[in-house]
Chain A
Amino acid sequence: MAATLRLRRLLVFDPLTPCTRRPPRPARPRPPGLGAAAQCRPGAGQPQENFIPLRRTKGESWAPAEACAVPFLPPNASCRVPTLTPHDILYVGQIQRKHQASKTGGAALDFTGQLARFFLDHPEEAFGAMGRLLQENFYLGEARLRSKARENAISVKTLVQELGRRAGRRHCPQLQPSPRLRRFSCLSRDWLFEVPLGLLAECIHEDLALQWAKLLFDDAPTGGALAWLPTNDVAPAPRGCLVYPGGEAMNLLCFQEVALEQVAGALQPRAHGRPAQFELSGRVRQVAAAQVAGEALVGVRSDHHCGAWRLQTGTAPVPLQVIRTDAPASCLTVSPHLPGELSVCTLSGAVYLWNVETGLQRLRQDPETAFFREASPWRWSEFTSHPRVLSCADRTGLQCLDVRAPASRPFDLFKVGGEAECQRGERVMLPMYLGRAHPCQHLVATQFSVYVLDERFPRVPMLRWEHMLEAPPICAHLTPGRSQETSHKVLLGAHRTQELLLLQYTGGSHSACQLAGPPRRLHPISQGLQHLPPQATPWQGLLHQRLAAPAAGVTAAPAGQGPLEPLLVFQLSEAGDLFYQTLLHEPPAESESSAAPTSPASLPVPAAAGQPSPAWGASLGSGSEESGRLPGTVSEGTADAGQAAAPEEARPSGGLAAAARYGCWLKALLRDWSRLPEQSQPQAPHTISHQRLFTRGELSQPAGDSPLYRQARQLLCRAMRERACLAPWALGLPPTPLAMPHPMEPWAWPDDLSKRLTASWAGGWGEWWEEKLGVTRTHKLHALRDRRRRLKQARSRRSLFGSFTSSVTYQSDLSDFSACSQPPSEPPGRAEELQPPAPVCRQDLSPPRAGRGHRPPAPGQVWPASPLASSSQRSEQAAWGSQDTEDSSQLLSSQTLSSRGIPKERRKTLRDYLAIFTQPCPEPPAELPASQTSSLGSQRWGASSQSQRSTGSQPPRKRPRMGF
C-alpha cells in the first residue's frame, strides 16, 4: 500500500490552472534542501517541449545588509532570570552504574544536585519537624556532656565538624564518604526527612525530565510572540505597530509605534513615542494579529488566559475581552476574514471559535488525535478560505471543520503519511494559513520539511521542501509577493537554536506552485557575539547567555509598496530583546560575483570601554563618527570560527550605524546589570590578591618615567574601576613588528622532504611531484605501481558496472578501464606509452578505498582477500580471454563468497547462476537477457571496438557479479 501511496503525487496540477497553460509540477519530493533541482513537468496544452522545474534555480536573491542582527530597542532591563540551559540539569561526570536512559535519551539528570541544593537552601522545609523533635537529644556544644545529660542527648560535635570540613570540597570527585557520616545517613535516611527521600527524589527527577523534554522541544511558544501591523499612511515613511512582550517575566504586552526610515542610505526602524503597555498576569506565549476592515485585532495567548485587543490607526489599543481556559491554551489565531473572531485550542483537545461579542463556541472536544495515535496533546487551528471553516491540526495532520455544523464529518486537508511522502517519525509542528498569498493555500511545517497545501487539492501537497533546520520550526511569517512575478517569502524560525530561514515560492492562482531559488539563512541573534568586543569574563558569560536566549518570535515589515523594496526582519528573543536585520534585494549578478561569496560588510567594533556613553536615542545620529574612530574589525573572530572568511566589501553607512546601535545597546545592558541587586549580579570569578603575585617592594617601585607607563597605569586603573577588559588597543601601543626570520636558502636543504616543502610553499607542489616522478626510473615504476594499485581498488568497486547490461557508460568505462589495467610486469620502457589513467577529478570524486581493517597491499603484491582483484592482476589477455574453470571455481568457493559478504542462503543461487557462464557460449547475442535485447534496439552504441568485444565474441566475464 505504501508504495502505491507514494507514487500518487508524482505530478500534480494546480486545480485552478487555466487549461491553456500547464505549469510544471513536482514528480517526487526533493531530498533535503540539498536535492537535485528538477522534478519537472511538461509545459502546455499545446504540445511543446517546455519543461519547468519544481524548484527554480534562479530566484530573487535577498541578502541581509548587516553582518548580524542589530538591536532595535534598548535591552529589556528587567530580564534577570536566565533561561534554563542543559548544564543546569544535566549530570556531568562519571556515572558508575549503567543508568536508566529511556526517559531522557541517554542524558543523565542531576537530580541529586538539585536535592542537595534544596536541603541546603531550605533546611526548614526539608528537615523542620524532625529537627525540632530531636533538638533536645542532639548536643551541638563543644564541651563534653555530663553524665546526667548523657541519658537523653548525644553529642554530634564530630559529625558537625566533619560536615564543616567537607562543605568546601563537595565537588571533589575523590572525596570518600567517611564511615561515621555514612553510618549516620544509613541510620537516619528513613525518618529524618520531612518528605520521604525516595518520593522527593522521584518527583524532582520527574520534573527534571519534564524540563529536559522542554529543552529538547517546547511547543508552548509555537506561533511566535511578535507581530507587525502596518498602518496605511505611507508618507513620509512607512509606519506600523510592533506588538511584543517584555518585562521581567515577559508578561508586559507592548504596542510600539515604529517608523521605517532611510538613514544615510540604510533602512532603519525608529521607535516613536513610548510604547503602550499592559501588564498581564502570565507569561505571553503567543501574539497573533490580523487586519480586517481597516482595523487590527491582536490576540495574546498565555498559558491559561487569552486576550484580545483592538487597534486602530491613531488611537491607543483597546482591550476587548479575556478568556480563561482550564487546560493550557496551545493556539490562538485571529480571523483574517471577520473582525473580532479568533480561534482557540487547548491542550485538552478542545477547539473554540471565539467571537469577542458573542463569546466562545466549542467546536470540538476530542483528546484523541485525528489520524493515528500520538501522545502529544498539542492542537492548533487556523482559518481557511471559507470564513466558517476552521482547520484543526494536531501532530498527525490537518482537518477542516465547519463551524456551522461542527458535528459533521471533517474533511482531511493534510495527513502525515504516504500521500504527502512523509518520513518516519515526521509530525506537524506548525500549520499556517497563507491567505495573503493565495486564499486557498496553507503552510505546514514539520521537523523535516515544509509543505504548501491547497485546500482544493487536499492531502496532496503542492510543494514540499526539506528545510534542513536543526530544530523544528515553531514560528513562521509570510510576506506575500505584490505581483505575480514576485515571490512569496516565508520566514521560518526555530526556537532554541534561533535559526531563521527565508524560503521563496511563486504560484497559486495562475501557475502552479514553484520554489524560487535556494533558501537563505538569516542571522541568528547570537551571531552578534562574534562582532562584539570582548568583555570581562563574568559579563562575557552573561552576554553570551543573553544573546543565545531562545528566539521567541519573528516578523517582517516591507519598507514600501514596491515589489523589491527592502524587507525588515524583526526578531524577539526570550529575554525580551528586539533585534532587526534588513534584507536587500540583490540584482542578479553576473558570473563572477555569484561565484565569489558576497557577505555583508563586517561590523566594526562598537564603542569600546572608555568612550563617552551617549544616551540611546542621541547616539543614532552621531554613531557613525564615533565608531569610525574605533580601531580594528573583528573579522578574525569569524575566520577562526570557521565562518565565511569572505572578501568583504565596504558598506560604510549601514555597518557603522549598526555598530553604533550595538555599542549603545551593550552599554545599556551593562548599566542595567550593574544596577541589579547584588545576588542577581553575575558572580565574579575567583580573584587572588596582587600581594600574592608581587612583593611589596615590587609594587612600590616607582613606575618608569616614560609616558607609556603612565598611560598604561591610568588605563589599568580605569579598567579596574569600570570592571572592564583591558584591551591591548586601548593602550594605543603600536604593534611591535615581529622580527623577521632570516631569509632561508632552500638549496641548503637537499633532502626530498625539504624540497617538497619548499615547492609546496611556493605553490608548485604538483609540478615538483611530476618532476620528481620523472627523475628516476625506479621512482617512476613505484609511482606507476602505486597508481595501478589504486586503479585496481577502483576496479573492485567498479564491479557495479557489471550490471549495466546495455549502458553506453558501461562500455566507455570499460574501455577506460582496460586501458589502465596494464600488468605490472610491463617493461619499464613501455611505461611512457601507457594511456593516462583516469582523469584527476575522477579520483577526487572517488578516492581510493582504504579497505577497512586491511592494510593496502604493497605495490605489485597480490591482494589475497579479493579474487576479483587478483584476477585483474593477470595480463589483459587473460582478463579478457576465456575464463578458466579454476578461476571460476575459486570465485564460487563458499569461503570466497562469504568473504565477499554474500549471505549463505544466496550462495547457492549465485553458484547456479554463475555456473552458466563457465560453460562455453557459442552465440553470445542469443544469450542476452530479454531486457537487454529489447533495449538494444533503441541503443546508440558508442565506441565500437570495445562494445563489440564485450557484447559479441567475448564471454561476458563481468556479468557473473550481477545481483550482488
Chain B
Amino acid sequence: MDSFVEQLKRGTEEEFTEESAWDGSAVNTTSSSLPAIYLPLLPRYLRHPTTRGRKATEFQETKKACLNYIQDALLQHQWQRAAEFMTNYLETLENTSAEKRMAAPEVIWRIGTEILCHHSKSTIEEFNYFAERMKNLGVKRYLKVCLEHVFYLLCNGLIDEAYQNLSLAEGWRYGEQTTAQDKELKLIQAYKGLLDYYNWAKKRKAMLELDGNFADSVEQEMHSFFRQAAVNLKEIIKIPGVWDPFVKCYVDLLEFYEDYEEVRQVLSEYAYNSKFPPNPNAHVYYYQFLKRQGESKKTLMSVLKILHEIVPSHELMLEYNALLQKSKKRKNHRLGLEIIFTLLDFAGWKEHVKAWSCLAKQIKQILENSGKHLDWITEEWNSRKDWWPAFHFSHYLAKRNWQENESLACEKALVAGILLGKDCKYFKYVSHQGCKAKKEKFQTMKKFVKKHSSAHLRASGVLDSCTHL
C-alpha cells in the first residue's frame, strides 16, 4: 500500500511515454517532505503549460469539454441538456488515445444510465434497449452491466424480466473474461437464488391455500424452486462478506424443511467465522433462531454476551439484561447492572425511558436488599462520576426532560437522587416540579431518595462528586 505513490508516479511517467495525450489529469505532489495526496483530477485552475508530453488534440479537448458540460448538466438536474450533450459525446468511443478509448464504454454506460433513470421521458423499453447495447459495448464489464440492469428491473417491479436476464447472464461464457468477472457471476447466481426463493415462497403460500387436489403438482414445483434457490444461496454464503438477505432466505428455506442442524451451522458460521466482517446482524439472526428453537437461557445468554462485546449499544441488550436479571446467579445480576450502565453511556440511549427504568429498578432492588451489593453501584459509578452529571443530570436536561417526557424525568431523577444525593440539580428540579403538580409518586420517590442517599452511598464514597454540581 505504501508504494502507492511510487506506482502512481510511475503511472504518470508511463502516461508521458504512451501515445496518449498528457492532459494534466493526474498530478502527484510527491516529495519526501510533502504530504502526498493523489489528486484524481487536476483542478482546472491549475492546468499549466507543460513542456513535457504531447499537447492534447482538438478532439480530446472537445470531448473533455463535452464531458464537463454533461457533468455540469447532471449536477444541475438538467437531464434533457445532458442527453443532448451525450449524443455528441458518443464519439469518444473512437478516441485516439487508447487509454481513453478503453474507458469510454464505461463512462457512457454510467452517464447514460444516470440520464435514463432521471429523464422524465425515458421509458423502461428505452432503458432495456440501452442496457442491451451497453452489454455488448465491451465484454469486460458485461456482468456488471447485467447486474445493474437486473437491479433496475427489480426496482421497477419487473421480476420476470429480471429473472430472465439473470438466467442469461448466468450462462454467459467468454473465455478468460468469465473468470475475471467471477464475483459478479457469484452475485448474479445469488440474486437468481433469491428470486427462486420468492417463487418458492409463492408456491408455498399457494400450497397451503389449496388442499388436496393440486397440492401435489404445486409441491413438486416448489421443491424444484427450493433446489435451485438453495444451491445458489448456499454458494454465496460461503464467501466472506455481508449477505444478510441471502442468509435470511436460506434459513427460511431450510427451516421449512426442518433442516435445523444445517441452519444452526450456517448461522453460527456466519456469525463467528473470523473471516467475515464483524456483523451484528449475524448474531441477531443466530439468537433469534435459537430462541425459536426454544434453546436454554444459558445458550441464549452466551450469544448475547458476544453481541455485547461487539455492539454494547445494541437494542437486544435490554433483552440480555432481562435474561440476566431472571437468572439466579449473583454474578449475572452484577453483569446486568454493568450492561445497563454501559447502554446509558451512549448518546442514542440518552432518552430511552425503558433503559432508565431498568436502571432505576435495579438500583432500587440493590438498595432495598439492605445494600449488600452497594459496591457494584460504587464501582460502576466511579468510572462515570466525572462525566455523567454533565451528560445526563444537568439542570438544562432536567427542564427539557420534564417538559418533553415526564416519566423519563421521573426515572432519571430517582437515579440522580440516589447517585448524586438529594441536593443534585436534576433531582431537586424534578421533585420540585413533581410536588408542585401534586403527584403521589414524587412524594414516595423523594422519601426513598432521602432515606437511601444519605445513609448508604455517602458512606461508600459514591457521592463525592455531587459537589461538582
Contact = CB atoms under 8 A, between A and B. Distances in A.
A99 interface: yes
Contacts of A470: 41, 43-44
Contacts of B78: 597, 599, 644, 646
Contacts of A929: 173
A102 B39 CA distance: 15
A375 interface: yes
A809 interface: yes
Contact of A845 (B77, B90, B96): B90
A138 interface: no
B249 A47 contact: yes
A105 B27 contact: yes
Contacts of B314: 15-16, 456
B106 interface: yes
A460 B173 contact: no
Nearest to A90: B48
A42 B387 contact: no
Interface stretch (A557-565, A680-688, A800-808, A878-886): A800-808
Contacts of A468: 71, 75
A448 B41 CA distance: 10
Interface stretch (B144-152, B207-215, B294-302): B144-152
A375 B80 contact: no
A846 interface: yes
Q: Would you call the interface of chain B mostly helix, strand, loop, or mixed? A: helix
Contacts of A27: 147, 151, 187
Main secondary structure of the interface of A (DSSP, over half): loop
A456 B311 contact: yes
A719 interface: no
Contacts of B74: 33-34, 518
Contacts of B113: 34-37
A168 interface: no
Contacts of B383: 404
Given A36-B113, A800-B136, A10 B187 contact: yes
Contacts of B195: 49
B124 interface: no
Contacts of B5: 375
A15 B38 contact: no
Contact of B347 (A92, A337, A448, A935): A337
Given A209-B34, A447-B40, A39 B151 contact: yes
A106 B133 contact: no
B154 A385 contact: no
B210 to A, nearest CB: 18
Nearest to B241: A8
A22 B152 CA distance: 19
A37 B173 contact: no
Nearest to A592: B120
Given A4-B239, A61-B77, A385 B348 contact: yes
A105 B246 contact: no
B17 to A, nearest CB: 13
Nearest to A209: B31
B427 interface: no
A597 B280 contact: no
A841 to B, nearest CB: 8
Interface string B160-177: 000010011011111111
B403 interface: no
B320 interface: no
Nearest to B96: A852
Contact of B110 (A6, A34, A371, A932): A34
A387 to B, nearest CB: 6
Contacts of A804: 168, 172
B209 to A, nearest CB: 15
A424 B137 CA distance: 25
Interface centre among A52, A98, A597, by most B CB within 10 Å?
Answer: A597
Contacts of A40: 151, 154-155
A218 B97 CA distance: 32
Interface string B26-59: 0111111111111111111110111111000000
Contact of B117 (A37, A216, A385): A37
B368 interface: no
A760 interface: no
Nearest to A643: B72
B8 interface: yes
Contacts of B50: 106-108
B30 A51 contact: no
Interface string A170-206: 0000000000000000000000000000000000000
A92 B49 contact: yes
Contact of A803 (B39, B49, B173, B243): B173
A217 B37 contact: yes
Contact of B183 (A3, A850, A852): A3
Contact of B37 (A103, A385, A447): A447
Contacts of B176: 963
Given A37-B113, A435-B347, A646-B78, A216 B46 contact: yes
Contact of B35 (A105, A336, A377, A846): A377
Contacts of B45: 85-86, 496-497, 548
Given A425-B4, A440-B348, A591-B121, A16 B51 contact: no
Contact of A387 (B43, B183, B347): B347
B456 interface: no
B35 A376 contact: yes
Contact of B315 (A16, A385, A458): A16
Q: Most chain-A CB neighbours within 10 Å: which of B32, B41, B249, B252?
A: B41
A471 interface: yes
Nearest to B41: A470
Nearest to A384: B347
B77 A518 contact: yes
A457 B172 CA distance: 35
Contacts of B198: 42, 47-49
Contacts of A427: 37-38
B406 interface: no
Nearest to B150: A38
B311 A471 contact: no
Contact of A25 (B39, B150, B157, B244): B244
B397 A293 contact: yes
B39 A216 contact: yes
A373 B1 contact: yes
Given A95-B51, A447-B39, A52 B133 contact: no
A213 interface: yes
A31 B96 CA distance: 24
Contacts of B248: 22, 45
Contact of A425 (B8, B34, B167): B8
Interface stretch (B260-268, B358-366, B388-396): B388-396
Given A92-B49, A419-B277, A963-B175, A471 B43 contact: yes
Contact of A439 (B73, B167, B348): B348
B290 interface: no
B151 A7 contact: no
A5 B394 CA distance: 46
Interface in B118-148: 118-121, 130, 132-133, 135-137, 139, 147-148
Given A385-B347, A939-B167, A459 B37 contact: no
Nearest to A590: B120
Contacts of B164: 940
Contact of A963 (B120, B121, B174): B174
B319 to A, nearest CB: 13
B43 A11 contact: no
18 contacts: A8-B276, A31-B110, A34-B74, A38-B151, A42-B249, A47-B201, A51-B155, A103-B30, A336-B347, A374-B36, A472-B37, A520-B75, A599-B78, A642-B65, A798-B136, A846-B137, A847-B93, A962-B173
**Closest 6 CB pairs between A and B?**
A38-B151, A935-B171, A963-B175, A597-B78, A425-B38, A8-B241
Given A468-B75, A597-B73, 12 more contacts: A8-B241, A13-B281, A105-B12, A217-B39, A386-B345, A457-B280, A471-B39, A471-B43, A496-B43, A497-B44, A597-B80, A800-B139
